[in-house]
Chains A and B, each alone.
Chain A
Amino acid sequence: MIGLTHYLIVSAIIFSIGLVGVLRRRNLLMLFFATEVMLNAVNIAFAAISHYYNDLTGQMFAFFIIAIAASEVAVGLGLLIVLYKKYGSLDLDDLASMKG
């Protein structure tokens, strides 16, 4: 039978996939995809805990995460368009203006 641990392990695997993507990607649009992957992984964990503890709080948090992700995408894509107009590229190495 499938238990809570199974779901949490799948969630952790997907979260680490997203984390590797965030560390590895140099293109801003792809970086956004990786953050979406991470948010979805957390949603799986919340829904699974909500199911196995018979508690609705987890689902509530998943709803608010979805709302936050939607607004993040709206603002982020607006910023990406502004950046693309300004620099003509979405590569992070091109966009680095502070030489630290």
Chain B
Amino acid sequence: MYEVIAFYLFSVLTIGLFLVTIMSKNVLYAMTSLAAGMVLIAGFFFILGADFLGVVQLIVYVGAVMALYSFAMMFFDATKDIKEKNTNSSLVFLLGGLSALVLVLMFAAPIHSDAIQALYPMHEGVGNAQDVGIVLFTKYLVPFEVAAVMLLVAMIAGIILAGKKMDDSLTEDLSADDEILTQKDEK
């Protein structure tokens, strides 16, 4: 009973929040609603019994990714509304809905649900974190290490890309400085 209530509450809230993310003109509103939607998605994971995944979602997405976005938002001038040239919005909606429907049909059509059998079944009486750990460090050890290397590469790339000329201001108009200097010279 509680599962039903939680499911409908979470799904309605998540869809609403992500709609705000997509529609909002303000970066701050979009980012906040995205973070809230991700917290609710962690709630989905908890009612699905994937406790460890839910915790990882909270830590990585709501913690790390959102912190990165908010830092990036400080670099860009995020306080003013974004002006976007949206031509033919209804056509985009139609195309997006249609292509999503086609994707869902494409991926759902070949699945005969009886033919699916569990490769790594969950164990009764064992916590989700233990189960995940056993499978992750035996069957998925190589992808795990590759993912670790990929994260290291991403970290170095982020530092190299963003770290150059960090002492220069991004948002201030540089021509303003020149104007001030020329005014000084005229005096």
A: residues with CB less than 8 A from B are 1-2, 6-8, 10, 12-27, 29-30, 32-34, 36-37, 40, 43-44, 47-48, 50-51, 53-57, 59-60, 62-64, 66-75, 77-82, 84-85, 90-91, 93
Return A28 CB to nearest CB of chain B, in Å. 9
Number of CB contacts from chain A to chain B under 8 A: 216
Bound Cα distance from A34 to B154, whole angstroms: 20
Question: Which residues of A have CB within 8 Å of B120?
Answer: 55-57, 60
Is B41 engaged at the interface, CB distance under 8 Å to the other chain?
yes
Q: Is the interface of A mostly helix, strand, loop or mixed?
A: helix
Q: Is the CB of B161 within 8 A of A47?
A: no
Question: Which residues of A have CB within 8 Å of B56?
Answer: 63, 66
Please provide the chain B residues from 130 to 173 with a CB less than 8 Å away from any CB of chain A in the complex: 131-132, 135-136, 139-140, 143, 147, 150-151, 153-155, 157-162, 164-165, 168, 170
Question: Which residues of B have CB within 8 Å of A82?
Answer: 161-162, 164
Q: Is the CB of B96 within 8 A of A37?
A: no
Nearest chain A residue, comparing its CB with the CB of B166: A81
Nearest chain A residue, comparing its CB with the CB of B98: A16
Given contacts A24-B89, A48-B48, contact A68 B118 (CB under 8 A): no
